């Protein structure tokens, strides 16, 4: 009798211990979860390049090391260069602010008064404060404290992102080296849990991740190149740096306008109205147009998702999960969309070549 009452307890206890173990592992890895996800995405999206290096070197460790250094040179080095350029270019900005504090604002250009509705008022306001340094100082002091807080928050975010990026690249080395083994174990675990249909969903998730990576990076390069062309045409100083900064900011929602809109304002202040209008049109219809058209197309082509679901997945993913949500959002919608198709009787589209094949994994 005692043995029979003990039997359910003996069966339940291993499950409880297993759950506690899984919870403990999650707590330990939770601070590094985003870095691990970035490393997985980096390794998976560049896996064909790793296979080519592996065939050339004949060694998983050497191929993984070269891929890690290459990814670091492509991702981390540009981020460091952008940071150093921002520090170097901050000196003229600080000098301009100091000039405003000491000498007051410059006289307004004549075209400001011709702006409809607000032009005359704005011109009078600038003219009144042009030679009144104390008034300018009083106005700027109202924004100093909030600006300091924003700068400190931005500095912390950039520093944390850079540390996370370095950690992701380091973790990617192990994903490269042991990726075939991880892929085999993941495929077998998913097959045991959900069968052949679960494998198809896993392959669909991989295809969507690749589409997002190629769409995000391809769009970033295209936007940076087009922005640089516009800056070169208008003979804007630092066109190469501004184009590179546009590519970097393309990773953020509405990031490129943060680069070319200030340039438009600067051209207008300099009296180059035609150049400012041209750059505004170029930015809205060309630079931002690429982001609105090319990125969703590349993502939806790989994941076989409708355009609107790609757009909602990317935007909603960023709002829900941060920058990593650019990848998680479309993946979740792709899986849900295909499950709905299957439930409604429509055969979903599978992607058979996304994960390393079993024979290919064994060769590695």
CB 204 within 8 A of CB 190: no
Task: In whole angstroms, give the CA distance from residue 113 to residue 287.
Answer: 30
Give the separation between CA 182 and CA 364, rounded to whole angstroms: 12
**Segment 270-291, tens digit of pLDDT:** 888 888 899 999 988 888 888 7
pLDDT of residue 173: 92
* Tens digits of residue pLDDT in 302-322: 556 676 777 677 778 877 877
Q: In the prediction, which pLDDT does 337 show?
A: 80
Residue 356 neighbours by CB distance under 10 Å: 22
How many CA within 13 A on the CB side of residue 297?
A: 8
Rounded Cα gap, residues 78 and 71, in angstroms = 11
Domain boundaries of the chain, sorted by first residue: 32-353
Instruction: Report CA 63 to chain centroid distance, whole Å.
Output: 26
Q: What is the pLDDT of residue 214?
A: 75
Chain CA centroid to CA 109, Å: 39
Token pair listed for 109? 């250009």
Task: Kindly list the averaged pLDDT for each block of 10 residues, start to end, along the chain of length 364.
Answer: 57 78 85 85 86 89 90 76 62 59 59 67 67 58 61 66 82 89 84 78 76 76 87 83 80 79 86 88 86 70 66 77 76 78 62 46 49
d(CA 71, CA 328): 21
pLDDT of residue 361: 47
Say if residues 349 and 303 touch (Cβ distance below 8 Å): no
Q: How far apart are CA 100 and CA 83, in angstroms?
A: 26
Tokens 């270019």 sit on residue: 89
């Amino acid at each position: 009798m005692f043995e029979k009452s003990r039997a359910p307890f003996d069966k339940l206890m291993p499950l409880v211990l297993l759950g506690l173990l899984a919870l403990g592992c999650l707590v330990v890895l939770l601070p590094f979860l985003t870095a691990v996800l970035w490393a997985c995405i980096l390794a998976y999206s560049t896996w064909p390049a790793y296979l080519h290096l592996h065939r050339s070197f004949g060694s998983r460790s050497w191929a993984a090391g070269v891929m890690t250094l290459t990814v670091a040179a492509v991702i981390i080095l540009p981020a460091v260069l952008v940071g150093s350029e921002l520090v170097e270019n901050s000196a003229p900005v600080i000098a301009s602010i100091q000039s405003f504090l000491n000498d007051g604002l410059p006289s307004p250009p004549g075209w400001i008064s011709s702006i409809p509705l607000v032009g005359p008022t704005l011109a009078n306001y600038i003219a009144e404060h042009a030679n009144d340094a104390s008034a300018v100082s009083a106005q700027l002091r109202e924004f100093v404290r909030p600006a300091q807080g924003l700068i400190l928050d931005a500095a912390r975010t950039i520093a944390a992102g850079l540390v996370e990026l370095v950690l992701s690249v380091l973790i990617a080395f192990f994903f490269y080296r042991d990726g075939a083994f991880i892929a085999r174990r993941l495929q077998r675990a998913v097959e045991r849990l959900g069968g052949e249909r679960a494998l198809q969903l896993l392959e669909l998730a991989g295809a969507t991740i690749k589409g997002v990576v190629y769409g995000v990076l391809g769009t970033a390069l295209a936007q940076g190149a087009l922005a640089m062309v516009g800056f070169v045409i208008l003979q804007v100083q630092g066109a190469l740096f501004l184009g590179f900064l546009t590519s970097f900011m393309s990773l953020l929602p509405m990031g490129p306008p943060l680069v070319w809109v200030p340039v438009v304002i600067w051209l207008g202040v300099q009296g180059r109205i035609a150049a400012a209008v041209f750059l505004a049109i170029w930015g809205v219809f060309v630079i931002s147009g690429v982001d609105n058209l090319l990125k969703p197309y590349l993502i939806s082509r790989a994941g076989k998702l409708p355009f609107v679901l790609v757009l909602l997945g990317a935007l909603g993913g960023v709002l829900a999960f941060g920058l990593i949500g650019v990848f998680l959002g479309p993946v979740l919608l792709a899986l849900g969309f295909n499950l709905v198709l299957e439930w409604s009787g429509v055969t979903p589209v599978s992607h058979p070549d996304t994960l390393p094949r079993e024979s290919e994994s064994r060769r590695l």
